Amino acid sequence: MALKNQLSIILLLIVTALFSGQTLAERHGHEYFVVKDIDIQLSHQADSDELRQAAEDSADDFREHHHAVTHRRPATYLR
């Protein structure tokens, strides 16, 4: 009988711990986002990766262009 009471208390604590995290997160200004569909999440990640890659490529092109332009200029020395 004592073992059954202990298991009931443990189960109750686990269930309340699982639900309290979501409740407290909403109360303290944190937003809880539910993922409606895994395809939507994967699509969003793919779009984010594509945008990140485009930004990195653009930055690399700009660095190469800047490097080429600065090396064509004659050296200036301050006196």
Per-residue pLDDT of the chain (79 residues; tens, 9 = 90+): 678 889 999 999 988 888 777 666 666 666 666 767 878 777 878 888 888 899 999 999 999 998 888 877 776 776 6
pLDDT given at position 57:
94
pLDDT given at position 26:
62
Instruction: List Cβ neighbours of 26 (8 Å cut-off, separation of 6 or more).
Output: 32
Q: Alpha carbon of 46 to those of 8, 26, 39, 54: distances in Å?
A: 45, 28, 10, 12
Q: How far apart are CA 58 and CA 35, in angstroms?
A: 32
- Domains of the chain, by residue range, sit at 12-68
pLDDT given at position 29:
64
- Whole-prediction pTM: 0.40
Q: How far apart are CA 13 and CA 73, in angstroms?
A: 72
Q: How far apart are CA 54 and CA 48, in angstroms?
A: 10
